[in-house]
Amino acid sequence: MRKAVWIIGVIALTLAVGGYVFFGGERKAPVRYRTATVERGLVESVVTATGTINPVVSVQVGSQVTGKIQSLHADFNSVVKAGDLVATIDPSVYQARRDQAAATLANTKAAVAKSQADLAQRKRELARFNSLLGQQFVSQNDVDVAVTAQQGAQAQLEVSEAQVKQAQAQLNAADLDLKYTVIRSPVSGIVIARNVEVGQTVTAGFQTPTLFLIALDLTKMQVDTNVSEADIGGIAEGKEAAFSVDAYPGESFRGMVKQVRNAPISVQNVVAYDVVIEVDNRELRLKPGMTANVSIVVARKEDALKVPNAALRFSPPQSGHREAASSTRQAGSSESPATAAAPKKTSTPGQKRVWREGTSGDPEALSLQTGISDGTFTEIITDALHEGEPVIIGIETPRSGSRSDALPPGFGGGGQHRPRSRDRGL
């Protein structure tokens, strides 16, 4: 009798413990994976950068003389032709200098005439002394003095002629300065900047002051963008480019790489290179100075086998590393169990790893060679995967997966809570 009671007690205890474990203990829920299908399609590898829209040719119109702006004949957005008058500087000072130089030239010319008359007189005197010397009326010393006088008159004439040339050069310089007071457009285009006002004094010193900025042709624009040294290797002339501006949200403009300049641009130890993109602006919608967000197509594959980048970033949970390691070894991997147990954080260039569900439901790793990427999909250039095969991109998370016993102490005990009444009197 006692033996039967003991057996019944053991059975009851076993049932109680089993019931507690089954109903109240932790049960491990199966892991469900989210998958995506390997597909074929377009893959574009692009380099993004920020640039500024500028005219292809812009000319700065300045002043070569100092003075006060007397009048302006061009304004913002004015269309000008080569040779058109755009501004004048007060010419009174330079007119006075020109008149002074002209007077100096006239004075030197008069000096030349006087020197010529003096030289003619010295020649006549020398001829007279030579004739008298044959008749013994003058001495040889008188003849020598006459020769010296003639030579001095000849030298004075040459000095006067040189002074005429100098005065003529000064007059030419004064005429040129006077001409520079009238400022004309050197090219045909449109004025995009005017930096002076009437009455303002401009000073032409070591640096020529800029009065106007004229764009040669606004229907042809270019985007000057700085590309980092890490991305410059795949950019070459003729590559396609697309960009957007804040003025036209949601609209994309097309262009082409015109030039990759070799001059480095270093800002805070970051090296970049200027990439010039030519743009057709026939509708004149793009304005100089706009900021452009540029995407340059480095490589393009039309019918590429591709996988989502999420599949390349996925790693199985810690609890499944051992099963994943065994699956990897069954697939022919030479990794040790300790190495295969942890997810790889790095890989060789072009060598990646994806995971797919095996026959047992556990994830198994698959190494593959990758090509270009557009940030969302990556090209596969090996035969490790085929079109239509699923790959793991994540783990499904149940919507209500929290347990009451996982709450902090004092929050719930597993039972149903009584609803609180909103009536303060209850």
**Average pLDDT of the segment spanning 333-344:** 37
Domain contains 28? no
* Predicted local confidence at residue 416, as pLDDT: 45
**Average pLDDT of the segment spanning 229-246:** 92
Same domain, 323 and 297: no
**Average pLDDT of the segment spanning 174-202:** 94
Query: How many angstroms separate the CA atoms of 316 and 297, rounded?
Result: 34
Same domain, 86 and 190: yes
* Predicted local confidence at residue 386, as pLDDT: 85
Residue 339 predicted with pLDDT over 80: no
Residue 345 predicted with pLDDT over 50: no
Residue 64: domain span? 57-90+184-216
Domain contains 6? no
Q: How far is CA 374 from CA 192, 297, 325, 415, in A?
A: 39, 10, 31, 52
- CATH assignment at residue 63: 2.40.50.100
The pLDDT tens digits of the residues spanning 13-45 come to 676 666 655 555 455 556 788 889 999 999 988
> What is the number of structural domains in the chain?
4
The pLDDT tens digits of the residues spanning 124-164 come to 989 988 888 888 888 889 889 999 999 999 999 999 999 99
pTM over 0.75: no
DSSP calls for 151-188: HHHHHHHHHHHHHHHHHHHHHHHHHHHHHHTEEE-SSS
The pLDDT tens digits of the residues spanning 378-391 come to 999 888 888 888 98
**Average pLDDT of the segment spanning 299-323:** 79
- Average pLDDT of the chain? 82
